[in-house]
Amino acid sequence: MVVVMVDVVGGGGWWFTMVTVAEVVCQEPPLRRPYELVLNWQELSKMLSRIAKILLVSSHPEVYEPCDDSFALADALVADRINLLQHQPSICMEIGCGSGYVITSLAVTLGHEGVFPYYIATDINPHVLRVTSATVDAHGVYAELVNTDISSGLEKRLTGLVDVMVVNPPYVPTPEDEVGCEGITSAWARGEHGRSVIDKILPAADNLLSARGWLYMVTLTANNPSEICLEMRKKGYAS
């Protein structure tokens, strides 16, 4: 059982200036966004063929658009693909799928290498289902989509069965009165230290992940990722 934290480092407030991937158990350096790397065309097109195509990602005014944090998570998955291929996951799950960019990128990455697990994605925002559905369809992949709070209602079916879980949660520290807002605000606003949803996701992940399950989660430094790793280590996870 492994926890991989994708740490998004903020330069000022929560406006990202640099992306680092922390503690990724991978065999090659993480990929950065194309504008941060001098890639030749061959490398660039190889990388782009492994992630969702931004022009095919659907949108809605109330749904979180793929942003630097989404790109960081998708990049971390691509960078870790050799481990993922060896892992041979049977069920992959995303919590808080938004536009569908990340789950689609995971499906494209693994599909590229001939690995076809079952994909399931949840989001609390009802608008997301149509958007993610359009995104996965446009890429010729399939994911079961569920409109629910974290993984509520799925425990009976999925306890101990999820081999890979990916999460780009709402993690931005905000005033408590923004917590509980609906629609697009729920995509980022998450109380003091930005931990109110993260702290609910961790026990849910522990319950759903298989004995060999891996969790990839985006955090800000303000979320105290080392404390999160410590908490998961106490539950028996490596990080």
Ligand X SMILES: C[S@@+](CC[C@H](N)C(=O)[O-])C[C@H]1O[C@@H](n2cnc3c(N)ncnc32)[C@H](O)[C@@H]1O
Cα(157)–Cα(147) distance, integer angstroms: 16
Neighbours of 119 (CB within 10 A): 23
Q: Which is nearer to ligand X, 96 or 213 (CB)?
A: 96
Pairing outcome for strands 144-147 and 162-167: unpaired
Q: Are 201 and 95 in contact (CB under 8 A)?
A: yes
The residue from 52, 92, 102, 143 that contacts ligand X (CB under 6 A) is 102
Q: Are 38 and 87 in contact (CB under 8 A)?
A: no
Q: Which stretch binds ligand X (CB under 6 A): 46-54, 62-70, 208-216, 227-235?
A: 62-70
CA angle (154, 79, 88) in 5-degree steps: 50
| Per-position x/- string for 161-200, each x denoting binding to ligand X as judged by CB under 6 A, each - no binding | -------xxx---------------xxx--------x---
The residue from 4, 22, 66, 107 that contacts ligand X (CB under 6 A) is 66
Shortest distance (Å) from residue 44 CB to ligand X:
21
Q: Which is nearer to ligand X, 99 or 219 (CB)?
A: 99
The one-character DSSP state at 172 is: B
Residue 208 within binding range of ligand X, rule CB under 6 A: no
Shortest distance (Å) from residue 109 CB to ligand X:
15
Q: Which residue has the tokens 């709070």?
A: 149
The residue from 2, 76, 128, 220 that contacts ligand X (CB under 6 A) is 128
Q: Which is nearer to ligand X, 21 or 95 (CB)?
A: 95
Residue 64 within binding range of ligand X, rule CB under 6 A: yes
Q: Are 74 and 81 in contact (CB under 8 A)?
A: no
The residue from 28, 36, 144, 149 that contacts ligand X (CB under 6 A) is 149
Residue 150 within binding range of ligand X, rule CB under 6 A: yes
Q: Which stretch binds ligand X (CB under 6 A): 5-13, 116-124, 155-163, 227-235?
A: 116-124
Shortest distance (Å) from residue 186 CB to ligand X:
5
Cα(224)–Cα(221) distance, integer angstroms: 5
**CB-based burial label for 41 (10 Å; 0-12, 13-18, 19+):** exposed
- Identify the three-state secondary structure at position 75: helix
Provide the residue type at 12 as one letter: G
Rg for the chain, CA atoms, rounded: 16
Q: Which is nearer to ligand X, 157 or 212 (CB)?
A: 157
Neighbours of 160 (CB within 10 A): 11
Binding-site ranges for ligand X (CB under 6 A): 64, 66, 70, 73, 95-99, 101-102, 122-125, 128, 149-150, 168-170, 186-188, 197
